[in-house]
């Protein structure tokens, strides 16, 4: 399957934060957040995953949309990483993207960062895309972030995960048909043309894969449930202790399997859609 560059700094998902926190820690992810923090940040060498509490409704661009059905995650934001957000804004604006002017404070301005030996108040600038998404749903939106204090977000000595996941290698997205899949590939490839000069090339998820509904079922063994799930089908981690992860899954009721279909060999697939709206795939270390 074709891979395309995606320059993703982090992916934000709204979920039941308490349930997510319990499972993440059980699976061997280590992070500095506590139960009083509004956000969970799971840090890796190249990026991070962000989880926040579900809201009953929210604003997507100019359209007010329902975000959740019950307490199941199905809404996410893809944040592209920039080293020069002013240039990113100019390049995307000149290319015809419906971008909003960058602001410090547009996405919060600052937050506590405690991802390793160095801790402090991290600052960042961000800009949003108004009603811009390559997918057929309204569940995934895009933005750009520049970390003004990168030494706090990506410290040289960050917390290491017990499960041995070191980075996020790929994001897999699901599209309803071949036409939409091709359109999504084009969307990401256009980013490479207009965004690569100012992109943060040191910290990003390097690749994205698009799959249609038939490919989704072949890979994951289930039928995509549309509005009940995210456009993000799976997060693929580079690294993983297969024995440890299986032991931690015992008694959780979470379905997992090993799939040797040629996409990710020697990998462990976890159906954690109830918690994160997508699958986790560990490209496990061979010992």
Asked, for residue 179, whether it belongs to a domain, the answer is: yes
Predicted local distance difference test score (pLDDT) of residue 220: 93
Separation between Cα atoms, residue 53 and residue 42, nearest integer Å: 15
Asked, for residue 265, whether it belongs to a domain, the answer is: yes
- Domain span holding position 229: 8-283
pLDDT along the chain (287 residues), means of 10: 90 88 96 81 93 62 38 72 92 85 61 83 83 73 89 89 96 92 91 86 92 93 84 94 96 89 77 92 82
Predicted local distance difference test score (pLDDT) of residue 11: 92
| DSSP character at residue 276 | H
Give the residue carrying structure tokens 């279909």. Answer: 261
Residue 117 · residue 50 · CB < 8 Å? no
List C-alpha distances in Å: 95 to 5, 103, 133, 192: 18, 20, 15, 12
List C-alpha distances in Å: 266 to 173, 246, 260: 21, 14, 7
Number of domains in the chain: 1
> In a 10 Å sphere around its CB, with 0-12 CB exposed, 13-18 middle and 19+ buried, how is residue 101 labelled?
exposed
pTM: 0.89
Separation between Cα atoms, residue 127 and residue 251, nearest integer Å: 43
Separation between Cα atoms, residue 112 and residue 120, nearest integer Å: 6
Asked, for residue 158, whether it belongs to a domain, the answer is: yes
Asked, for residue 2, whether it belongs to a domain, the answer is: no
Asked, for residue 165, whether it belongs to a domain, the answer is: yes
**How much is the CA Rg of the chain, to the nearest whole Å?**
18
Asked, for residue 1, whether it belongs to a domain, the answer is: no
Asked, for residue 260, whether it belongs to a domain, the answer is: yes
Predicted local distance difference test score (pLDDT) of residue 118: 81
3-state secondary structure (DSSP) of residue 89: helix
Asked, for residue 215, whether it belongs to a domain, the answer is: yes
């Amino acid at each position: 399957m074709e891979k395309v560059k995606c320059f993703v700094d982090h992916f934000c998902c709204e979920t039941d934060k308490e349930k997510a926190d319990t499972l993440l820690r059980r699976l061997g992810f280590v992070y500095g957040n506590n139960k009083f923090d509004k956000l969970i940040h799971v840090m890796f060498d190249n990026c991070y995953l962000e989880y926040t509490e579900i809201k009953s409704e929210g604003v997507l661009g100019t359209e007010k949309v329902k975000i959740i059905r019950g307490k199941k995650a199905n809404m996410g934001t893809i944040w592209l990483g920039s080293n020069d957000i002013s240039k990113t804004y100019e390049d995307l604006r000149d290319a015809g993207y419906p971008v909003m002017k960058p602001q410090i404070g547009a996405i919060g301005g600052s937050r506590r960062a405690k991802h390793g030996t160095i801790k402090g108040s991290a600052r960042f600038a961000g800009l949003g895309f108004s009603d811009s998404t390559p997918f057929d749903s309204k569940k995934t939106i895009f933005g750009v972030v520049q970390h003004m204090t990168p030494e706090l977000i990506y410290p040289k000595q960050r917390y290491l995960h017990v499960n041995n996941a070191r980075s996020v290698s790929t994001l897999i997205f699901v599209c309803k048909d071949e036409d939409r899949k091709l359109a999504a590939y084009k969307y990401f490839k256009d980013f490479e043309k207009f965004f690569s000069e100012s992109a943060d090339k040191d910290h990003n998820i390097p690749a994205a894969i698009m799959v249609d509904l038939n490919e989704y079922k072949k890979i994951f063994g289930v039928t995509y449930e549309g509005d009940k799930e995210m456009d993000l089908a799976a997060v693929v981690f580079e690294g993983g202790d297969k024995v440890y992860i299986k032991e931690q899954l015992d008694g959780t009721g979470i379905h997992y399997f090993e799939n040797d279909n040629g996409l990710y060999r020697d990998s462990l697939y976890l159906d954690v859609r109830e918690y994160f709206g997508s699958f986790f795939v560990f490209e496990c270390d061979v010992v």
